[in-house]
């Protein structure tokens, strides 16, 4: 029996068709989120792995529908998907392997239903995202989209008590992680025509989108990157408490996640203005050490 089959057994997933559907979500996450996949397989208990991977696949599919193509196409695709998911939650039946795994996970973790419904209620905010005028807009985006999306997985690792404090710590984690992503994705976001760095921060450093798109490197770009990364690091450092607040089964994963995000922050800071040519990645050796440390503590 393979390790994956043992995970399915531990999770109580017995039906052959449903096991196959979970396997498809495992393959999707392994293909598109390699580091997340490895972390889940190494650090989560076997019974949690299929559900965490299914929730991650569901989140990724939603992101793709919300972000890919012209807005009119995205609006239609999201509306169709949202309707199908809501109907499946209502009836307990789905016509898609991803929806069937979501239902299977909600059946085994009933509190996930509330997280899915919150995500469906708020995810449309991503369709209208065109950048931020200021910090308040960024904070509102976290509450409207980033945090509900994160809680699709975060809810599976939530404690039995103290969930409000846990959610607050998760918000601190996603605040730092999302800000770091927006800085690291500078080149891609420029191509797509919507930056995640607030406009007032650009103005403070006299950095214009026109200059960035022209390939001209503003002299203050390095200082802007430094400010954004340091702000992200402060949030990530504060978010270390989330590992102590999570359910014991999720603590090693959160410990490794924060460590890897901080390694990424160092890599982004070192890349500096070269982010115009593409994103930075955390060093492989450092990432492996973070996973091994968390594994030993587990």
Last residue of a domain, one of 96, 127, 158: 127
Residue 140 and residue 121 share a domain: no
What is the rounded CA–CA span in Å between residue 41 and residue 26?
A: 10
Please, are residues 21 and 100 in contact by the beta-carbon 8 Å criterion?
A: yes
Residue 103 and residue 26 share a domain: yes
Residue 291 and residue 269 share a domain: yes
Residue 248 and residue 103 share a domain: no
135 closest CA partner among 204, 184, 208: 204
- Report how many domains make up the chain: 2
Residue 234 and residue 144 share a domain: yes
Number of residues written out for the chain: 298
pLDDT in the model for residue 128: 85
Strand segments (E) across 47-191:
none
Q: 46-68 burial, b if ≥16 CB within 10 A, otherwise e?
A: ebbbbbbbbbbbbbbbbeebbee
- Taken in order 181, 187, 193, 199, is the CA torsion positive or negative? positive
What is the distance of C-alpha 108 from the center of its chain?
Answer: 22
Residue 94 and residue 108 share a domain: yes
What is the rounded CA–CA span in Å between residue 208 and residue 92?
A: 50
Q: Digits of tens for pLDDT over the chain (298 positions)?
A: 799 999 999 999 999 999 999 999 999 999 988 888 999 999 999 999 999 999 999 999 999 999 888 889 999 999 999 999 999 999 999 989 999 999 999 999 999 999 999 999 999 888 988 889 999 999 999 999 999 999 999 999 999 999 999 999 999 999 999 999 999 999 999 988 889 999 999 999 999 888 888 766 677 899 999 999 999 999 999 999 999 999 999 999 999 999 999 999 999 999 999 999 999 999 999 999 999 999 987 7
Residue 136 and residue 123 share a domain: no
Last residue of a domain, one of 127, 160, 195: 127
Please, are residues 186 and 229 in contact by the beta-carbon 8 Å criterion?
A: no
What is the rounded CA–CA span in Å between residue 74 and residue 78?
A: 6
Residue 147 and residue 83 share a domain: no
Q: What's the CATH code of the domain at 22?
A: 1.10.600.10
What is the rounded CA–CA span in Å between residue 43 and residue 254?
A: 9
Residue 139 and residue 267 share a domain: yes
By the 10 Å C-beta count (0-12 exposed, 13-18 middle, 19+ buried), 145 is classed as buried
240 closest CA partner among 259, 266, 267: 259
Please, are residues 264 and 180 in contact by the beta-carbon 8 Å criterion?
A: yes
Residue 216 and residue 114 share a domain: no
Domain with 210, as residue range(s), is 129-298
Residue 69 CB neighbours (<10 A): 13
Residue 278 and residue 161 share a domain: yes
Last residue of a domain, one of 112, 127, 142: 127
Please, are residues 235 and 170 in contact by the beta-carbon 8 Å criterion?
A: no
Please, are residues 101 and 25 in contact by the beta-carbon 8 Å criterion?
A: yes
What is the rounded CA–CA span in Å between residue 280 and residue 282?
A: 7
What is the rounded CA–CA span in Å between residue 201 and residue 167?
A: 28
Residue 134 and residue 46 share a domain: no
Helix residue ranges per DSSP H, 123-162 = 135-141, 147-154
pLDDT in the model for residue 215: 66
What is the rounded CA–CA span in Å between residue 212 and residue 221?
A: 9
Q: Residue 69 carries which DSSP code? A: S
């Amino acid at each position: 029996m393979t390790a994956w089959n043992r995970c399915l057994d531990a999770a109580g997933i017995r039906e052959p068709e449903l096991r196959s559907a979970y396997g498809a979500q495992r393959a999707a996450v392994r293909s598109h989120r390699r580091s997340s996949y490895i972390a889940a397989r190494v650090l989560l208990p076997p019974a949690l792995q299929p559900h965490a991977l299914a929730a991650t696949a569901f989140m990724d599919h939603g992101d793709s529908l919300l972000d890919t193509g012209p807005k009119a196409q995205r609006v239609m695709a999201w509306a169709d998907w949202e309707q199908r998911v809501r109907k499946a939650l209502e009836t307990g039946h789905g016509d898609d392997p991803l929806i069937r795994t979501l239902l299977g996970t909600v059946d085994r973790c009933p509190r996930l239903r509330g997280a899915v419904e919150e995500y469906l209620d708020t995810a449309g905010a991503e369709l209208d995202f065109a950048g931020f005028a200021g910090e308040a807009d960024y904070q509102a985006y976290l509450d409207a989209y980033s945090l509900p999306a994160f809680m699709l997985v975060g809810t599976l690792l939530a404690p039995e008590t103290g969930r409000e404090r846990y959610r607050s710590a998760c918000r601190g984690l996603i605040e730092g992680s999302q800000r770091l992503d927006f800085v690291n994705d500078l080149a891609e976001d420029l191509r797509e025509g919507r930056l995640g760095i607030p406009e007032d921060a650009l103005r403070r450093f006299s950095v214009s989108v026109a200059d960035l798109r022209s390939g001209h490197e503003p002299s203050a770009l390095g200082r802007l990157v430094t400010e954004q990364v340091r702000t992200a690091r402060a949030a990530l450092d504060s978010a270390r408490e989330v590992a102590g607040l999570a359910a014991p089964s999720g603590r090693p994963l959160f410990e490794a996640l924060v460590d890897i995000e901080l390694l990424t922050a160092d890599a982004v800071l070192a890349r500096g203005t070269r982010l115009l040519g593409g994103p930075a990645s955390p060093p492989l050796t450092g990432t492996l050490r973070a996973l091994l440390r968390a594994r030993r503590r587990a």
